Amino acid sequence: MKKHIYTLAAATLLLVSCKSVDKMVEQGKYDEAILFAAEKMQGEENKKTKYVQGLEEAFVKVTRKDLARIQYLTDLDREENWSRIYFTYEKIQKRQERIRPFLPLVSEDGYQAEFQFVKVNKRMKEAGDKASAYYYNGALELMVEARKKDKFAARSAVQKLEKIEYFRSDYRDKKALLDEAYYLGTTRVLVKMKNDALVIIPKAFEREVLGIGVRDLNSRWTQYFLEEAQGVSIDVIAEMSIQNLDVSPDREFVNYYTDSKEVTESVDQTDAYGNVLKDTLGNVIKVFVNKTINAHVTEVRRTKEAIVRGQLLFRDKLTNERLNAKPITVEAVFDEWYCTFNGDREALSSKTTSRLKSSYGVGFPSDFDLTMQAAENLKYEMKKQLKRQIL
């Protein structure tokens, strides 16, 4: 037991020794070194010199590195770099705020660390304004095409306008422009049903299918409707065309068979004259014999099904262009088995026993009931296809 404790302690010491401020700084892991040193000094009245000096060195080097990156990006003089400049200043700001609570930072040996903080607020505002202008102007260019019914341009405009939120939530007319871009980028789909079958379909069937609940179908760029609404511009018609609805007749199949089983039972032993034999104590002598028991089974199977075939057709409402078509076939199946028997119940197989019923089956469902079950299955399949469709 002691050996395991010593081994664990040695492993712990090795792990701690491997993770040091000096090694992190040497490897260029400056922010990791600052976090590590800060955690070690948190709440400590006597702060170890190695952590104070390590934090100081890591801070100096990482600040120098970030300022050099900012200078490099500034010298490139590209508008798309202003967001990178902003986020680099933000990193400097967060790092400085992490260290500020320790100031003045003096070690237990009297060593006082020195930190040259960068004044970032004004520079961040300038970089944020220029980044906002860059994304705003890019969005304006995209909106020209978006207003010509280019939904992908509208969606790209939304992405650019959303980036401005990080820098300036109230930038110019960003909110109004964002609302417009969202509207122009959204595809609105009207879901309908059409009977192209050569049979009359109950009104309840259509109500069931179109009761799909479109709210949970809606996504970032797609909205579904079950009827046209005032002021809503429909882009795509998703029409469920019912091409065939067939309900089979009631079918009943009867099968007769016998279940048999070999059993062992004890019987009284008799002599040649049929007299029961007894032992010296007067007890009847028993012997075990094998015999076959039987159960004569009547097996009934009732089947009926409703099959719906069709296709979910997507077309552009403005041009009537066919965009896509998904064939759909669903069925509702009634399949009932039951058995009755005459004879010894113990002879029945497990399969036969599972099909025994106290009553003579539940009876065939009506054509209407089975059709409505098929409508429910169609609704589920239709919803699945609508979710898969990218518009």
**What confidence tens digit (pLDDT) does each residue in 32-58 have?**
999 999 999 988 888 899 999 999 999
**Stretch 203-216: mean pLDDT:** 86
Dihedral of alpha carbons 226, 228, 231, 232, sign? positive
User: Residue 145 contacts by C-beta under 8 Å, 6 or more apart in sequence?
Assistant: 153
CB contact at 8 A, 341 and 293: no
Domains of the chain, by residue range, sit at 19-118, 126-185, 187-391
CB contact at 8 A, 324 and 388: no
**89-98, 264-273, 312-321: range with lowest mean pLDDT:** 264-273
Question: What's the rounded Cα separation, in Å, for the pair 303 and 335?
Answer: 5
Question: What's the rounded Cα separation, in Å, for the pair 37 and 53?
Answer: 9
Beta bridge partners of 188: 223
Report the alpha-carbon angle 117-120-126, nearest 5.
160
pLDDT band per the 50, 70, 90 thresholds, residue 92: very high
The tokens for 303 are: 């089947």
Using DSSP bridges, classify how beta strands 236-247 and 187-195 pair: parallel, antiparallel or unpaired.
parallel
Rg of the chain over all Cα atoms, to the nearest angstrom: 41
Question: What's the rounded Cα separation, in Å, for the pair 49 and 109?
Answer: 7
Cα 345 off chain centre by: 51
Q: What is the DSSP string of 195-217?
A: E-SSSPPPHHHHHHHT-S-GGGG
Q: Is 389 helix (H, G, I), strand (E, B) or coil?
A: coil
Whose CA is closest to 333, among 369, 380, 381, 382? 369
pLDDT band per the 50, 70, 90 thresholds, residue 2: very low
Residue listed under structure tokens 């409703």: 306
More confident residue, 202 or 267: 202
pLDDT of residue 321 exceeding 90, the answer is yes
Question: What's the rounded Cα separation, in Å, for the pair 297 and 97?
Answer: 86
Cα 265 off chain centre by: 61
Buried b (16+ CB within 10 A) or exposed e, 205-242: bbebbbebebeebeeebbbbbeeeeeeeeebbbbbbbb
**Distance spanning both ends of the chain, measured CA to CA:** 66
pLDDT of residue 328 exceeding 80, the answer is yes
CB contact at 8 A, 132 and 164: yes
The Cα-based distances of 90 to 60, 93, 130, 165, 256 in angstroms read: 16, 5, 15, 15, 84
Residue listed under structure tokens 């992405």: 159
164-185 pLDDT, tens digit per residue, is 999 998 999 999 999 999 999 9
Q: Long-range contacts: 224-232, Cβ < 8 Å, 24+?
A: 224/188, 224/189, 224/190, 224/191, 224/386, 225/188, 225/189, 225/190, 225/191, 226/190, 226/191, 227/190, 228/190, 232/188
pLDDT of residue 235 exceeding 80, the answer is yes
More confident residue, 198 or 139: 139
Question: What's the rounded Cα separation, in Å, for the pair 193 and 339?
Answer: 43
344-358 pLDDT, tens digit per residue, is 999 999 988 888 875
Whose CA is closest to 240, among 390, 372, 386? 386
CB contact at 8 A, 82 and 21: no
pLDDT band per the 50, 70, 90 thresholds, residue 193: very high
